[in-house]
Amino acid sequence: MAKKVVLGFSGGLDTSYCVKYLHEDKGYEVHSIIVNTGGFSAEELVQVEKHAYALGVKTHTTVDAVRGYYDRIIRYLIYGNVLKNNTYPLSVSAERLSQALHIAEHVRTLEADAVAHGSTGAGNDQVRFDMIFHIMIPGVEIITPIRDLKLSREEEIDYLKKRGVDMNFEKALYSINKGLWGTSVGGRETLSSRGMLPEEAWPTQVTRTGTEEVVLHFDKGELTGINDRKFEHPAEAIRHLQSIAGPYGVGRDIHVGDTIIGIKGRVGFEAAAPMLILKGHHALEKHVLTKWQLQWKDTLAQFYGNWLHEGQILDPVMRDIEAFLQRSQETVTGKVFIQLHPYRFQVTGIESPNDLMSSKFGKYGEMNTGFTGDDVRGFSRIFGNQVAIWNAVNEK
């Protein structure tokens, strides 16, 4: 009986090669799986399935992971206002972890002998997939044909053509990876340290002009409504917000980061909804949380984002930080008002029943109803007492 291998499958060149190589050259019974984290339409998923069976897979499984992706990962990125290097909302790195987790679970279900993915030896994804598999399905062989054989694109195309594979072999000028939490865009402009992607490279073109106000409704840190519309699940709210803000061209940027394997990388991304949500959520938090809540959230969230980026979602410390982040959201409820313009946006304010800027306690720079000037005089002496003693003892 042939050994079973579960292959993470996207339908692209690399994973198409993997199916043929594993089945025809290595004799495996190939079971493909695609984990949709928001980047595929229903029609595209049907085409991917047809393509998988045409290549010769034994079974093909489609997993709708959009809501689970939000529940397990994205919600904590929002709670922590996580932006890698103060720029990137972890669009691709976060979804790769969701995909790896589902693939590993499928290996368990099928009791497969091996697991395969189409990563090359040049990026972060190989580490993320390998590490999740080593932890979740220890002892299961990991097969990576593209990485192990050091294949060029031309070699893959020649191999598939000789085996009668009918697919589009044209290489797009820009590589695009779309998901719920943003879309990455790579091209010749991102291969060096200087250059911006041209307008035509962005998947969402700018079609809206003028200005528009959008109101985000948060309930305990989660996006539950946009303008007058409520949503059953935050993932649906994210998609709707993207449809509104994307055509304004907001949320576009180029991220320069450190890969897990130690080299610098540069990639373009568009993430209109994630950027509006993160900036709006942060603005609301600044009104309803104390300064020490905000400081410790920043400290823990920065570590959380970096550790997640490096594939360490299964480290138990991540559950500890998630518990802290979740608890911090108890009062993060209210509305955030954002003004949209072509290529930019501006948070104009918030409304919340938990706003600590309440005029009942005074107005900044004008008056305070909670204490008197004499109270401040005494407090200032006590608050600075130890530093005053230090300066007196160490005066030169």
Decide: 359 and 369 in contact? Cβ < 8 Å: no
Q: Where in the chain are the domains?
A: 4-162, 175-289+331-351, 365-393
Per-residue model confidence (pLDDT) at position 367: 61
The top-level CATH class assigned to 175-289+331-351 is alpha beta
pTM of the model: 0.92
Phi, psi of 329 (to 5 degrees): -90, 5
Per-residue model confidence (pLDDT) at position 64: 97
Dist CA 334 CA 350 (whole Å): 7
- Per-residue tokens: 274: 């994630």
Per-residue model confidence (pLDDT) at position 147: 94
Dist CA 157 CA 168 (whole Å): 10
Decide: 17 and 156 in contact? Cβ < 8 Å: yes
- Per-residue tokens: 263: 């080299």
Which residues of the chain are under the pLDDT cut of 50? none
Please name the residue ranges forming H helices in 9-152: 13-20, 42-55, 66-69, 75-79, 91-110, 125-136, 145-149
Selected from 3.20.20.120, 3.40.50.2000, 3.40.50.720, 3.40.50.620, the CATH number assigned to the domain covering 4-162 reads 3.40.50.620
Per-residue model confidence (pLDDT) at position 54: 96
Dist CA 271 CA 333 (whole Å): 23
Q: Which of 100, 27, 94 is nearest to 63 (CA)?
A: 100
Decide: 181 and 77 in contact? Cβ < 8 Å: yes
